[in-house]
Chains A and B, each alone.
Chain A
Amino acid sequence: MTTVEMRQVETAKPGRPWRATPRERAFAIGNFIAAFLLAFVLVKFTGLNGKLGWVFGFFFSYISISFVAEYVRSGKPAAQDSLLTSVSRFAVFIAIIPIASILGTVISKGWRGLHWGLFTQDMSQATVNDPITNGGMLAAIVGTFIMVGLALVFTLPISILTALYLTEIRGKFSGAIRFLVQAMSGVPSIVAGLFILSSIVYPVTQQYSGLMGALALSILMIPTVARTAEEVLLLIPNELREAGLALGATQWRTVAMVVVPAVKSGLVTAIILGVARVIGETAPLLLVSGGGDATNFNPVSGPMGSIPYYVWKSFLLGGTEESSQRTWAGLLVLLIWVMLLFAIARYISSRTKKG
């Protein structure tokens, strides 16, 4: 009994030394308030103004005040450390501002232009300056679906074969091909358009069509899909391949029956990322797809519209309230697609990581 009591007396209460003490917290809050006051003075008495002026004024004061305060309290190394802390917080904040602004503007200006006719009518009977209820994006949405779908058909075999070459065969060109795929991901989108123009449109078909748009898009899509596919293939444990071979399967059977089924969801992610990469691509489509106003289901002949083309046209040709509403509504539809694809890709990859 006595020993137990003794031990209870001796045990220290568990502390949390990493937590901020009330004094430290008061110090941080004091810094914050002082910075706010200084920012107020700056905005009042210098050329800074507006929301951004406030933000910059506040961070400038916060950085300098916390530096000085730390210097007085704990000396030079601590002050320098706090400088990096506050500057990097500032940097993240600046990086976030445009995202918030883009999302906010597109949603607040775009939703007014949304109506059901957008998905059931095309622009063949309307101009961009007509009232918003005349005409819609049917041609654009159909065109984007057809072109991106076709581009996927061209891209998928090439990128999966490339990824398989890099991970399964590992031949003597591996290094070179990996390098080239990375170099290809830096090809400017307008160059892809020019290439299709110079190699197919001018010498062979002599007309703009959805197929040409799809070809240009697939040049931009291949590197994204191939690299993501390679990354997921590298995650497959080698034991799986060895097990396949040990059961007497040939290499191609192992790949087709074991490796590829194992990375199915990863390949879906690769496809989605590829689609998200090209769905908003504008420049090559402006060059080669023709961008018709009437709904066109035939990718081989006749100009084909697309969502980015629709947005671009309403932006360039317009100048009225209606055309601006059209532009923002088009951007909102595009943004929704991009976010949807992004969310699906996130969901799939988070599910595979857990499983």
Chain B
Amino acid sequence: MSTIAPERGVPAPRVLVTKPRRSDQFFRVVVTLGGLTSLLILGLILIFLAYRGVEVIRMEGFALITSSDWSVVEDESGNVVSQSYGLAAMLVGTILSASIAIAIGVPIAVLSALFLEFYAGKKIRGFLVSLVDLMAAFPSILFGLWGFLVMMPSAEYWAKLLNKYFGWIPIFDVPAPVFTRSPFIAGVVLAIMIIPICTSISREVFSQTPLDRIQAAYALGATRLSMIRAVVIPFGRSGVVGGAMLGLGRAMGETVAVYTVLNIVYQVNWQMLFGAGGNIASLILLKIGEADREETNALMAAGLVLFVLTLVINSLANLLVGRLGKTGR
């Protein structure tokens, strides 16, 4: 029926391009820039702390992390006569209290995660999971003050008990009977702080165990224990280690909760029940108020050391946790 001549009626084919519109290009640029902000912030932190601290780092060299003498000596008119900034005692204190936290907290967290995932009934699980998540949201000042005012007396009692029966092992020995504000007590407070985090990460890892393997193990007559040993642990091992390291990073960077329960003493102390130690973050909090220009720079260098330390540990942890899931948690 059509009488229209083909050369007039058929429109020219539309030009299809894969190039996005200008509005989309703009959108992509804006979003990409927004996404790169985290890189920018981390980079700026590194640059500014290094810029402030470089003088002290150059002055002290390796003594910054090997010497444990932190002192500024002034004469009567307030001129600085001599100064030395060594972080060894604080580094040892940081590592010691964080390791104690891991040693106490991680077994409890992993076992709790196993209980919540494989033993608890549905109702109890829901209740306990929200309780643990709530605790993960508690601010650190709450743990710090509770630790100092409520927990320290009873932790001191346990420390004395440990010292009484295991005092012959060097790390449980004390040079003087001072049990308050020791790395052990700081470690217990930090353990309580990291238990919720480690529990929820481990639980998440365990919940990703393939169900068919679990059922296969049960069908072969496994008990819960042998099922967990044969299926869950091999599957979740790297995730649990990663979760523990995230906890370690958190424990190392903690400020307020450690400040209240750990004495700052500029002397390397490996005896965990003895009330002497310190950690880098609480040193910064203690000194920043009264520091002069030079000491402030030294504190910036200390902050840099702490930042790099936690960054390395967290990155390793994330690699380990992420190796397991596809969704990249």
Interface residues, chain A, CB within 8 Å of chain B? 47, 50, 52, 77-78, 80-81, 83-85, 87-92, 94-96, 98-99, 101-102, 105-106, 157-158, 160-162, 164-166, 168-169, 171, 173, 176-192, 194-195, 197-199, 202, 219, 222-223, 226, 234, 250-253, 255, 273, 276-277, 279-283, 286-287, 308, 311-312, 315, 327, 331, 334-335, 338-339, 341-342, 346
The 25 sampled A-B contact pairs (Cβ below 8 Å) are: A95-B195, A98-B195, A101-B146, A102-B135, A105-B149, A157-B34, A173-B35, A173-B36, A177-B36, A178-B328, A179-B318, A183-B315, A184-B41, A186-B313, A186-B314, A188-B254, A190-B284, A190-B285, A192-B45, A197-B288, A280-B140, A283-B285, A312-B141, A315-B260, A334-B139
Task: Please tell me if the beta carbons of B35 and A188 are within 8 angstroms of each other in the complex.
Answer: no
| Complex: A160 Cα to B34 Cα, angstroms | 8
The yes or no answer to B263 lying at the interface (CB within 8 A) is: no
Task: Please tell me if the beta carbons of A181 and B115 are within 8 angstroms of each other in the complex.
Answer: no
A171 cross-chain contacts in B, Cβ below 8 A: 28, 32, 35
Nearest chain B CB to A30 CB, angstrom units: 21
Q: Which of B27, B299, B306 is the most central at the interface, judged by chain A CB atoms within 10 Å of its CB? A: B27
B145 cross-chain contacts in A, Cβ below 8 A: 311, 315, 327, 331
A89 cross-chain contacts in B, Cβ below 8 A: 115, 119
Nearest chain A CB to B320 CB, angstrom units: 12
A185 cross-chain contacts in B, Cβ below 8 A: 314
Task: Please tell me if the beta carbons of B142 and A106 are within 8 angstroms of each other in the complex.
Answer: yes
Task: Please tell me if the beta carbons of A77 and B223 are within 8 angstroms of each other in the complex.
Answer: yes
The yes or no answer to B215 lying at the interface (CB within 8 A) is: no
Residue of B139, B151, B226, B314 touching A77 (CB-CB under 8 A): B226
Task: Please tell me if the beta carbons of B31 and A88 are within 8 angstroms of each other in the complex.
Answer: no
A252 cross-chain contacts in B, Cβ below 8 A: 23-24, 26-27
Nearest chain A CB to B91 CB, angstrom units: 14
Task: Please tell me if the beta carbons of A96 and B30 are within 8 angstroms of each other in the complex.
Answer: no
A88 cross-chain contacts in B, Cβ below 8 A: 111-112, 114-115, 119
A187 cross-chain contacts in B, Cβ below 8 A: 42, 45, 253, 307, 310-311
> B254 — nearest CB in chain A belongs to which residue?
A188
| Complex: A80 Cα to B222 Cα, angstroms | 12
Nearest chain A CB to B182 CB, angstrom units: 18
Q: Which 9 A-B pairs have the closest CB atoms?
A: A280-B139, A161-B34, A188-B253, A165-B35, A186-B314, A91-B111, A252-B27, A88-B115, A283-B255
| Complex: A276 Cα to B133 Cα, angstroms | 12
Task: Please tell me if the beta carbons of B300 and A188 are within 8 angstroms of each other in the complex.
Answer: no
Task: Please tell me if the beta carbons of A199 and B307 are within 8 angstroms of each other in the complex.
Answer: no
B97 cross-chain contacts in A, Cβ below 8 A: none
> A324 — nearest CB in chain B belongs to which residue?
B149
A106 cross-chain contacts in B, Cβ below 8 A: 142, 146
Q: Mark B35-57, 1 if CB is under 8 A from A, else 0.
A: 11111011011001101100000
Task: Please tell me if the beta carbons of B225 and A81 are within 8 angstroms of each other in the complex.
Answer: yes
A158 cross-chain contacts in B, Cβ below 8 A: 34, 37-38
Nearest chain B CB to A225 CB, angstrom units: 12
B284 cross-chain contacts in A, Cβ below 8 A: 190, 194
Task: Please tell me if the beta carbons of A195 and B45 are within 8 angstroms of each other in the complex.
Answer: yes
Task: Please tell me if the beta carbons of B310 and A188 are within 8 angstroms of each other in the complex.
Answer: yes
The yes or no answer to B185 lying at the interface (CB within 8 A) is: no
Task: Please tell me if the beta carbons of A199 and B314 are within 8 angstroms of each other in the complex.
Answer: no
CB-CB under 8 A for A161 and B116, given A105-B146, A280-B141 = no
Task: Please tell me if the beta carbons of B141 and A308 are within 8 angstroms of each other in the complex.
Answer: yes
Q: Which of A96, A158, A182, A199 is the most central at the interface, judged by chain B CB atoms within 10 Å of its CB? A: A182
The yes or no answer to B108 lying at the interface (CB within 8 A) is: yes
| Complex: A50 Cα to B156 Cα, angstroms | 13
The yes or no answer to B327 lying at the interface (CB within 8 A) is: yes
The yes or no answer to B230 lying at the interface (CB within 8 A) is: no
Nearest chain B CB to A333 CB, angstrom units: 12
Task: Please tell me if the beta carbons of A169 and B112 are within 8 angstroms of each other in the complex.
Answer: no
The A-contacting residues of B in range 99-154, CB under 8 angstroms, are: 107-109, 111-112, 114-116, 119-120, 128, 130-135, 137-143, 145-146, 149-151, 154
B226 cross-chain contacts in A, Cβ below 8 A: 77, 81
CB-CB under 8 A for A276 and B255, given A187-B307, A195-B48, A222-B41 = no
* Interface contacts beyond A92-B112, A177-B36, A331-B145: sample of 13 additional A-B pairs, CB < 8 Å, sorted by A: A52-B154, A84-B224, A94-B108, A98-B135, A166-B35, A179-B315, A183-B311, A184-B38, A185-B314, A281-B139, A281-B140, A282-B140, A342-B133
CB-CB under 8 A for A186 and B27, given A219-B41, A250-B21, A286-B285 = no
Q: Which of B158, B164, B224, B228 is the most central at the interface, judged by chain A CB atoms within 10 Å of its CB? A: B224
Task: Please tell me if the beta carbons of A181 and B119 are within 8 angstroms of each other in the complex.
Answer: no
Nearest chain A CB to B51 CB, angstrom units: 7
A162 cross-chain contacts in B, Cβ below 8 A: 34-35, 37-38
The yes or no answer to B246 lying at the interface (CB within 8 A) is: yes
Nearest chain A CB to B77 CB, angstrom units: 25
The yes or no answer to B9 lying at the interface (CB within 8 A) is: no
| Complex: A172 Cα to B140 Cα, angstroms | 37
